[in-house]
Structure 1
Amino acid sequence: MPRKPALPSDSLIPGSPRRRTALKTGGTLLLSVVAPALVPLPAGAAQIMAVRVWPADEYTRVTLENDSVLKATHFMVADPPRMVVDIEGLALNETLKSLVAKVESNDPYIKHVRVGQNRPNVVRLVFDLKETVRPQVFTAPPVAGYRNRLIFDLYPLHPVDPLTTMIAQEKWSQAEVAAATPLPPAQPGTPTVGQVAPAPVAKLEADAARAGTTPAQPLPTTPTLPSPTLQAQVQAQAQAQAKALPGGSKVTRMITIALDPGHGGEDPGATGATGAHEKDIVLEIAKRLKGKLESLPNMRVMLTRDADFFVPLGQRVEKARKVQADLFVSIHADAFIQPSARGSSVFVLSEKGASSSAARWLATDQNKADLIGGVNFGSHDKELASVLFDLSTTAQISDSLKLGKAVLSEIGGINRLHKGSVEQAGFAVLKAPDIPSILVETAFISNPEEEARLRDDAYQNQLADAITKGIKRYFAYNPPLAKSRTA
């Protein structure tokens, strides 16, 4: 923790003599209103270029974008809870003052913020809090159009847990909660948890060959729902698995799907010609998809983010593992330097390099999300990152390819495909070692025609329908195995 500085006569701290004097005279304005006239500022002082606030249940982020690297110290004050930040070498300007109005009444953690010139060459921020928080204060270097950033992440003392959230939404039975344990890394060469051997996919490919198509294209002759024969096989398999459990206990088998709307918060993703941000469009599509999937029997969905805030790549994967997801679907809207590029794509992880130069370029671009979004690498869990990024398995990639083919075949029915097969590259967000994972590029937001479609409610519904049908098709040919949970 930074060393707590001595408190000078400070009108920004409740109870200080100067604040009492100001109140006695009836003044209610903050010192920030008059400080510039009272305190001469040195030439060449840093300037705040922009201020942003990103409130969310998981944490609230405050960002100060500035023209140079800032040095800040902070300390906490209790009863009532406050966080005090002193920033050196900073000129108090109108942009910084506007931070006061940026804090909304529904912010989970910040009640309001006060800004003032604490002493020559030092600006003080006081965050009046709704509860005690666990702050992280760090800087981010210039990247992707951003200047230097000073970032304040205010986390609750008890972090929001995705499993707890799903329990609160009554999507897990108490028996499942009691039986839930972290998933161990999958062993190379074995099917991943919740998946069966890959035999049914051969039938899918054979059906496609007889129809004169490929699995990555629409398959009108292949039913979306399983045939009665296949349904009987799935039911028989489930019954056999139930008998195999100790004591013949009853199996509770809900399918859990993690949906990952890309980007968010400080990371807008790609931006279309009319100003549409990828982060907003993919969140809307994910919410529509969530509703459609949860309307199916025995299906529940976890969103890695449900609002406009940034989630680091590793945390997206870890959230899916915490709820023991059966599938992970990351949703994006592609962009390219040429506006003529168009079409939908589906990507899975690759162990041996990208399947094309375009796939490699896209993966490299998407993997910059942590730099653009702003991650406190000083507190980054390197051990967790090693587990997530080094233990990907052949079985996970094999299952992911099956899922990708099923989803791409359905998307091909509503939009042109950028490439008629599932592509592979080293996407960091797909590196859960034990969950079949795909990344869906819904369309090119950099293409004006496709941007207009992506902004259309009807088309977003079509995309959600297509991905839902693809997931149903995947489970029709790859029914989930029973997990070690009892009800």
Structure 2
Amino acid sequence: MKILVIMALLLSASTVLAGTRVEGVRLWPAPDHTRLVLDTAGLVEHNVFSLSGPSRLVIDLKDAALGTDFSKVDLSGSPIQRIRSAPRNGNDLRVVLDLKSDIKPRSFVLEPNQQYGHRLVVDLIDEQGSRLDRATSPTVTQDSAGKRDIIVVIDAGHGGEDPGAIGPRGTREKDVVLRMAKRLADLINQQKGFTAKLTRTGDYYVGLRNRTLLARKYNADLFVSVHADAFRTPQPRGASVFALSQRGATSETARWLAQSENRSDLIGGAGGVSLDGRDDMLAGVLLDLSMTASINASLGVGDSVLGRLGRVVKLHKQGVEQAAFVVLKSPDIPSILVEAGFISNPTEEKNLASEWYRNKLANAIFDGIEQYFRRTPPPGTLLAWEKQQNRGGTDVSQYRIQRGDTLSGVARENQTTVSELMRFNGMNDDRVMVGQTIRIPSS
């Protein structure tokens, strides 16, 4: 009996000494970094350092034991050749990553969320930028006559270790918005005069600031971030469109002026104005002008997108809302955030999980974007050239009537009148049919 008690005490002591267990491991390869996530039973103290010749990354976990199998991790697409581990100092755990080349590590712990428990996150950052450079290599978007495409950067929210909101049936926001973003990109790329780029093409996380940085690398004319809303109760529903608030613009101007590295960034929205060498007052004025122009353009395109969404789905609010979202804070690129619906609402969760509904949303967003740029194309683009060529009485564009359209609504959105549309299209009355194509005269 005494022997059994002693053995039980020894087992209990070993459990205490072992401390936190590493219960799982996941890998999220992205273009500019790879994220390694260790699921732990609780908070864990850790230390990370690099070794050369050969390249390795060492992760020491205090009072920890291994409870998973590293050999089953798929390392393809990552800079890791092998993951190995061993006990250290009796109670600790050492994890070693054998690397293909030197990387810059960054580590932190995450609190539990809806999907995961405690986690230790280690980012392996590609300082050479080789994979990022390939991902953001410029596309030829200009023809021999100098008429370039309008570039729309589409940002699928969340990703990787960040699932976003999760619906009652387990539908994850990060999956829904990525599929919708890809559909929207396909629609844009199929349209002559437009090119779409994605901030992420797979299930990995991109930092909020890096999303706007990618838009700048692509020389974007518009940045569209796609999300799915959530609330603590299941009742709220409907789609929303957001632009940057003035308060968010003010704080962002201060941040840009406070960071010296931003002084050399070009403000494309203001015609290539640089803050480099400007005193604080002049730089502040230039940023305010650029930010104001960007917000006004964002509200314009947001209103166009919201109008199209309102024809196919229920709206949460009838007007474009404004908030200080980080991804909207580019001072030189018009930016909107589209909340496709409330994933916390059981009906909308079911809709968002279906391809037909996501396609309906993507089509509406695309229609709103195209309508805005047909009306106000950026200088030097194919659409601006076409509008210039069509001045003097010929039609600027053609429009196909959709469900819910009225001739008065089409006239209002294209800054013309019902009588002018009727005259231009040889119509005897203002009735239109779904699928009918009408010509829009130049304003």
TM-score after normalising by structure 1: 0.63
Partner of 2:314: 416
Q: 2:339 aligns with which of 420, 441, 449?
A: 441
Matches within 5 A, 1:258-337: 258-337=153-232
In structure 2, the partner of 1:374 is none
Tell me the secondary structure at the aligned position of residue 317 of structure 1. helix
CA distance in 1, matches of 2:218, 2:302: 22
Distance of 1:313 and 1:423 partners within structure 2: 20
- CA offsets per residue over residues 426-465 of structure 1, 9 Å max, x none? 1111000011100000111111111111111111111111
CA contact (8 A) 1:133 1:154 kept: no
The unaligned stretches of length 5 or more in structure 1 are 1-36, 177-248, 355-380
Corresponding letter in the other structure for 1:89: D
2:30 to 49, 53, 56: 56
**Structure-1 residue corresponding to 2:47:** 72
Structure 2, unmatched stretches of 5+, are 1-10, 250-257, 268-283, 382-443
Cα distance in 2 for partners of 1:265, 1:73 equals 22
Alignment-derived partner of residue 364 in structure 2? 466
Equivalent residue, structure 2, for 1:100: 71
Distance 2:262 2:323 in 1: 18
SS of the residue 2:300 aligns to: helix
Q: Give CA deviations for 1:320-373 in whole Å, capped at 9, x if unaligned.
A: 01111000000001111111111011000011479xxxxxxxxxxxxxxxxxxx
Alignment partners' CA distance in 2, 1:54 and 1:262: 16
Give the aligned residue type for 1:315.
Answer: N
Letter in 1 for 2:124: L
Give the superposition deviation at 1:271: 0.3
Distance, in Å, in 2 between the alignment partners of 1:382 and 1:69 is 34
Query: Residue 150 of structure 1 corresponds to which residue in structure 2?
Result: 120
CA distance in 2, matches of 1:382, 1:114: 41
Whether the 8 Å contact between 2:238 and 2:341 is mirrored in structure 1 is yes
**3-state SS of 1:468 partner:** helix
Superposed, 1:16-415 pairs within 5 Å as 43=17, 45-66=19-40, 67-79=42-54, 81-90=55-64, 92-94=65-67, 97-101=68-72, 103-129=73-99, 131-142=100-111, 144=113, 148-160=118-130, 164-167=134-137, 171-172=139-140, 250-352=145-247, 391=287, 393-415=291-313
Match of 1:222 in 2: none
The amino acid across from 1:322 in the alignment is: K
- 2:379 matched to 1:481? yes
In the superposition, relative to structure 1, how do residues 468 and 320 fare at CA in structure 2: closer, same or farther (>3 Å)? same
**Kindly, what percent of the aligned residue pairs are identical?**
38
Query: Between Structure 1 and Structure 2, how many residues are aligned?
Result: 338
Partner of 2:441: none
Distance of 1:384 and 1:416 partners within structure 2: 44
Paired with 1:407 and 1:99, the residues of 2 have a C-alpha distance of 47
Distance 2:369 2:217 in 1: 21
Q: Structure 1's 41 and 73: CA in aligned 2 closer, same or farther, altered over 3 A?
A: farther
Task: After superposition, give the CA deviation of every residue in 1:125-158 in whole Å (9 maximum; x if it has no partner).
Answer: 12233x2141323223536456553221112342
State which drifts further: 145-154 or 435-444. 145-154
Name the CA distance, whole Å, in 2 between partners of 1:51 and 1:328.
Answer: 34
Q: Following TM superposition, by how much is the alpha carbon of 1:385 offset from its aligned partner in structure 2, in angstroms? A: 8.4
Alpha-carbon RMSD: 3.0
CA gap of 1:482–1:319, structure 2 versus 1, over 3 A, is: same
What amino acid does structure 2 have at the position aligned with 1:455?
Answer: A
- Greater relative contact order (CA < 8 Å, ≥ 6 in sequence): 1
What SS class does the counterpart of residue 270 from structure 1 fall into? coil
Give 1:76 shift.
Answer: 2.2
The residue type equivalent to 1:460 in the other structure is R
Q: Give the Cα separation in 2 of the matches to 1:427 and 1:44.
A: 43
Secondary structure of the residue aligned to 1:333 is: strand
